[in-house]
Amino acid sequence: MPRLKPEDTDFDLDELEEAEYTEGSYTSYDGKVPPNGTIVGGNVKKMWWTRTQNDDPMIKMLFQADDSTHDGEYEDLPVWENMALTAGAKFKWAPFLDFFGLTLKEVKTKTFVADEDDPQMGAPILKVGTWEVDGEESFARIVVKRERYDGNWQAHVGEWLPYDPSDDVESEEEPEEPEEERPTRGRRGRGGGSSEEAGKAPARTGGRATPRGARTARSAPSRGKSAPASRGRRGSRAQGDDQEPPF
């Protein structure tokens, strides 16, 4: 049988053997992808600052389901979203920012990342303003939207809903809440907010949520560095704003 020639195996042996990597970075999930319209609870587990193949800035997000709904049937379900910061992809990023009470200005000027990039994913985002990834205010429920990629079903975010661990939603026909009754944030800590607080709606200006109360007077955090333009660049793996695979 023929053997590969040296010019075919042109990788740097020493570089690859000495490279460091993190084993088990993501929780494995062997369960089913829920049907369209299924509501699951969880939180924004990880986010990265990266770019599309057209070199547009993009936020890559991993939402991970917990055991708060459906008796934990979909626990650890991964939900990946590629939110290219372009006008054409506003239907992806605007609902996310509005729900968590964030603004484009905060994304542009107050995005804080880890010291080093993940070569496969981009620059790990730690927080935007004072909103922390995998923090107390990163929890939500989502309405699952299923899509096929390479012959397999993947779960995506069809809609963001408030997180309430005491409300185990089993129905796939839950009526949509009126827009004015939705909260700015996904929750208020582990216990969630009061019913009165959950009924308050964010004021909107030009299609973006205007944070309430103390958020309007928030000063910039004293630590961290804003993501420079060169951060988060990866190899040319993307297939477009909405077609890029999760890895």
Query: Which structure tokens are listed for 28?
Result: 């494995």
pTM comes to 0.65
- pLDDT tens string 90-103: 999 999 999 999 99
Which phi and psi (to 5°) does residue 99 adopt?
A: -65, -45
Residue 84 pLDDT: 94
Comparing 8-17, 100-109, 140-149, which segment has the lowest mean pLDDT? 8-17
* Residues present in the chain in total: 247
- The chain-wide mean pLDDT, for the chain, equals 74
pLDDT digits (tens, 9 = 90+) for 30-83: 889 999 999 999 999 999 999 999 999 999 999 999 999 999 999 999 999 999
Percent of the chain predicted with pLDDT > 90: 50
Q: What is the pLDDT of residue 155?
A: 96
Burial classification of residue 126, based on how many CB atoms lie within 10 Å of its CB (0-12 exposed, 13-18 middle, 19 or more buried)? middle
CA 243 – CA 104 distance, rounded (Å): 23
pLDDT for position 27: 67
Look at residue 165 in the predicted model and tell me its pLDDT.
61
∠ at Cα 171 (246, 192), nearest 5°?
75
The per-residue pLDDT for range 159-175, each reduced to its tens digit, is: 999 998 665 555 444 44
pLDDT at 60: 96
Q: What percent of the chain has pLDDT over 70?
A: 61
Q: What's the CA gap between 75 and 189, in Å, rounded?
A: 20
**Secondary structure in 3-state letters for the chain:** CCCCCCCCCCCCHHHHHHCCCCCCCCCCCCCCCCCCCCEEEEEEEEEEEEECCCCCEEEEEEEEECCCCHHHCCCCCEEEEEEECCHHHHHHHHHHHHHCCCCHHHHHHCEEECCCCECCCEEEEEEECCEECCCCCCEEEEEEEEEEECCEEEEEEEEEECCCCCCCCCCCCCCCCCHHHCCCCCCCCCCCCCHHHHCCCCEEECCEEECCHHHHHCCCCCCCCECCCCCCCCCCCCCCCCCCCCC
The answer to whether 47 touches 231, Cβ cutoff 8 Å, is no
